[in-house]
């Protein structure tokens, strides 16, 4: 590993954050960040010594904010905070998300406004570098006063409590510390509050969602182009002149990609002079629909990157005489774009289902249900039932979690974002979308085969060949669930997109003409 990132002073991008999590980049505390961290830590010590009343340092929490805590009990206060706030329920979140939480929390704390001790920060970095990742339950955060419950679980291992995952095994934090010859951390004043007050649960789901939704968007254009070829649609609606007079960034980007994917296709050119004047919307309006989802993705990416480089705990310590109890922990700035992105992801599935339906209708020279012997064989009748079910399930998850707020903490926290639910829900929609795209790929590859001997473009032919490495042409009924499983794999592991990008590079075809639609 020869790449490093400076926590606290560097600008953290989504791509870099994911690279730290995967081990491609090492996060370090540089000299400047170390000085800022130590300075803030010493300022908290002054607050305690001089008995300056500051929330969470020498007071209780939430509705107990006016309860004074004597100096001798300030460390116990932080220890109790982690224990009492560890109330999460449900399945553990993915290990990668928990690791992203550690990374994003370190970057926020290392900016020097939180009063964390250098030793505590070093221990968190040890967890990241050694892939000893705390177990965090998925439910229990309302997304304001930060992600209290999940962050409390995330940092229980620092004090020898909770559980961790190491090398695929779950073990108690106490056993893990003993195995590594480590002692639990003794938290100083404000440290527990600094650890659990923040948006890192919401943020980490957002970081991963930006990556996953980008892959889904790229796949949507690719599979959509294959479907268009199978249906003998037109590329005229992707003419850049059309999109320059309604110049949304996402629309223009998608139109360019589709045009580049389809240019010089034999299939496309074979019906250039036919009497079909326009295609159904699910083909013709891909730039507008996929593009609108691109615009939503771009908005989520922009705000996620702002949050990645923000300080979101409370109170903020500028110095011993200047602390502010504010609301930087409130998840609303991410909750809204996450809900927006959920709708955007669902719409990609919605339009893909329509293309599956079109290909099964028996129009445009295709056999009904894409089978040469419909009747004895049901052909591709029922996979579209699955896309319909998944699309409808996604619609039920499009109600914005951020539209709700339930007062907590005896009314002290009387408006909350529910952004943690927004983040989790987006990933549930993406899970379904990836299956929808696998099923559309099943239909599109089958439809393209009925256009032989005509060929599509080098990129789309390579993608078709990649599909056929896993799923053969359908001549008669079989277990289509097995086909869907295979195609789901090449959609999710990125190999379908890698195939397209490799051929594009080899043939000097620029699919992506705007670096803004990347994550680095």
Cβ atoms of residues 104 and 308 within 8 Å:
yes
Six-digit token string for 322: 């200047």
Q: Residue 146 burial by CB count (10 A; 0-12/13-18/19+): exposed, middle or buried?
A: buried
Residues 6+ apart with CB under 8 A from 479: none
484: nearest Cα among 382, 373, 355, 338: 382
- Distance from chain centroid for Cα 27: 21
305: nearest Cα among 11, 9, 105, 10: 11
Residues 6+ apart with CB under 8 A from 379: 360, 367, 368, 369, 370, 371, 474, 477
Q: Residues 7, 55, 364, 435: which is the catalytic one?
A: 55
Active site residue 55: yes
187: nearest Cα among 110, 123, 103, 113: 123
Distance CA 344, CA 293 (A): 5
Question: SS3 of 415, please?
Answer: coil
Distance CA 154, CA 97 (A): 11
Cβ atoms of residues 230 and 454 within 8 Å:
no
Distances in Å between the Cα of 372 and the Cα atoms of 64, 456, 465 are: 73, 22, 21
Residues with catalytic annotation? 55
């Amino acid at each position: 590993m020869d790449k490093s990132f400076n926590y606290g002073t560097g600008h953290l991008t989504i791509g870099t954050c994911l690279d730290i999590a995967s081990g491609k980049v090492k996060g370090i505390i540089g000299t400047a960040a170390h000085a800022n961290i130590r300075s803030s830590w010493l300022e908290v010590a002054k607050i305690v010594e001089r008995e300056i009343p500051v929330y969470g340092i020498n007071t209780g929490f939430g509705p107990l904010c006016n309860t004074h805590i004597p100096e001798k009990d300030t460390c116990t206060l932080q220890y109790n905070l982690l224990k009492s706030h560890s109330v999460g329920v449900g399945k553990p979140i993915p290990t990668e998300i928990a690791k992203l939480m550690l990374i994003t929390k370190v970057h926020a704390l290392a900016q020097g406004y939180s009063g964390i001790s250098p030793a505590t920060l070093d221990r968190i970095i040890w967890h990241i570098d050694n892939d000893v990742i705390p177990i965090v339950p998925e439910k229990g955060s309302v997304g304001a006063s930060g992600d209290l419950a999940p962050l409390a679980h995330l940092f229980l291992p620092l004090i020898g409590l909770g559980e961790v995952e190491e090398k695929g095994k779950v073990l108690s934090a106490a056993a893990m510390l003993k195995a590594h010859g480590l002692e639990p951390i003794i938290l100083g004043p404000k440290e527990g509050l600094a650890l659990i007050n923040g948006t890192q649960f919401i943020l980490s789901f957002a970081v991963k969602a930006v990556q996953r939704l980008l892959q889904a968007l790229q796949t949507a254009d690719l599979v959509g182009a294959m479907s268009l070829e199978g249906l003998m649609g037109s590329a005229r609606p992707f003419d850049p002149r059309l999109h320059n007079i309604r110049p949304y960034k996402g629309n223009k980007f998608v139109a360019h990609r589709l045009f580049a994917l389809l240019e010089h296709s034999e299939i496309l050119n074979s019906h250039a002079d036919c009497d079909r004047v326009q295609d159904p919307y699910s083909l013709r309006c891909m730039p507008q629909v996929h593009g609108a989802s691109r615009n939503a993705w771009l908005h989520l990416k922009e705000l996620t990157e702002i949050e990645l480089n923000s300080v979101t705990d409370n109170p903020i310590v500028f110095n011993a005489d200047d602390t502010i109890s504010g609301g930087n922990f409130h998840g609303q700035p991410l909750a809204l774009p996450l809900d927006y992105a959920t709708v955007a992801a669902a719409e990609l599935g919605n339009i893909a289902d329509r293309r599956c339906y079109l290909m099964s209708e028996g129009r445009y020279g295709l056999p009904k249900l894409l089978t040469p012997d419909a009747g004895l064989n049901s052909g591709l009748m029922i996979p579209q039932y699955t896309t319909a079910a998944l699309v409808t399930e996604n619609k039920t998850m499009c109600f914005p979690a951020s539209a709700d707020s339930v007062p907590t903490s005896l009314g002290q926290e009387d408006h909350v974002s529910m952004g943690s639910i927004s983040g989790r829900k987006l990933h549930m929609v993406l899970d379904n979308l990836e299956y929808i795209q696998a099923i559309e790929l099943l239909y599109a590859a089958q439809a393209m085969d009925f256009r032989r001997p005509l060929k599509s473009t080098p990129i789309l032919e390579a993608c078709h060949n990649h599909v056929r490495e896993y799923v053969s042409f359908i001549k008669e009924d079989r277990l289509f669930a097995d086909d869907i499983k295979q195609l789901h794999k090449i959609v999710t592991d990125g190999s379908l997109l890698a195939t397209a990008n490799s051929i594009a590079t080899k043939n000097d075809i620029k699919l992506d003409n705007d670096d803004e639609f990347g994550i680095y």
